[in-house]
Amino acid sequence: MQVRVAYNAKHTASILRDSDRFYSSMAEKILARVRKERHGQAQLLDVGCGGGYLLREVVRHGSSVLKATHGLEISDMALREARRQSPQSRLVLGQGERLPYPQGHFDAVVCLGNLEHFMDPAAGARELARVCRRDGVAWILLPNSYYSGSLWRVILTGYGPNHHQVIDRFATINEWRDLLEANQLCVDSIEPYNRFKWWKRLLPRNLAYHFLYSASPSIGSHQENCALDLKVQGVQVDSTIQSGPLPADPPYGLHCLPPSDIP
């Protein structure tokens, strides 16, 4: 699969990752929620777990709270690093759009900085909802097209946002919320990502940050989800993989799998 090859090349150059501070604050947030509700019984899944840094932090701070931690990745290079970082976690090579787990299996599902890179984010969102328990929570980190750094980039270079990945998509705070809610997730809260940078508080919230969505599964009809067309801007496809099975025309429309294809 070409996306896997491209991500393997990226992870070989250097594992894509965030700061240790980010992973430990995210782990605290997850564990605070799970500790209250399902102490010792909770199952966690990190979809697009990369080098396993979040899994490592969650295990380090909450091994007694969790029954098991799972990670899924499209890149085997990233999974090798994840095995080093979090040897206790159960790791699987796979695609976020087709998760190999039963319905309602996880108390906490995490997808940080990945959904915007999926070939089919709508299917990815439905899969997050499917594998999450009804009383569970999914955390999804997504990039803001009008993030302050992106605005500076446009001012200085004339180019829009770019995270230099195989497929990049950007949307506003509410456009992403609409995508999640059209795909069986009910958004409970939206928090600014990277609040560590104090100067961002001087800017309007919708421009200063990328956003962390916390959501729970909602019940919705497949037909309704397919009917909704969503404006997600800035689809960029790496030219080296254009011959692959990628969506043809930006802006990205929803691609719905028939229900029987969803595992």
Ligand X SMILES: C[S@@+](CC[C@H](N)C(=O)[O-])C[C@H]1O[C@@H](n2cnc3c(N)ncnc32)[C@H](O)[C@@H]1O
List contacts with ligand X (CB under 6 A).
7, 16-18, 48-50, 53, 73-75, 78, 95-97, 112-114, 117-118
Residue where the block lists tokens 């947030």: 29
Is residue 170 within 8 A of residue 160, CB to CB? The reply is: yes
Q: What are the start-end ranges of the E strands in the chain?
A: 42-47, 66-73, 90-93, 106-112, 132-142, 167-170, 185-192, 211-217, 233-237
Report, in Å, the least distance between residue 148 CB and ligand X. Answer: 19
Token readout for 257 is 């799998």
Q: Which is nearer to ligand X, 82 or 190 (CB)?
A: 82
Choice between 44 and 49, CB closer to ligand X: 49
Q: Which is nearer to ligand X, 93 or 227 (CB)?
A: 93
Q: How far is the CB of 206 from ligand X (least distance, A)?
A: 22
**Shortest reach from residue 118's CB to ligand X, in Å:** 4
CB neighbourhood size of 24 (10 A):
17
Choice between 94 and 253, CB closer to ligand X: 94
List of residues 6+ apart from 26 with CB closer than 8 A: 54, 57, 110, 112, 139
CB of 9 to ligand X, least distance (A): 11
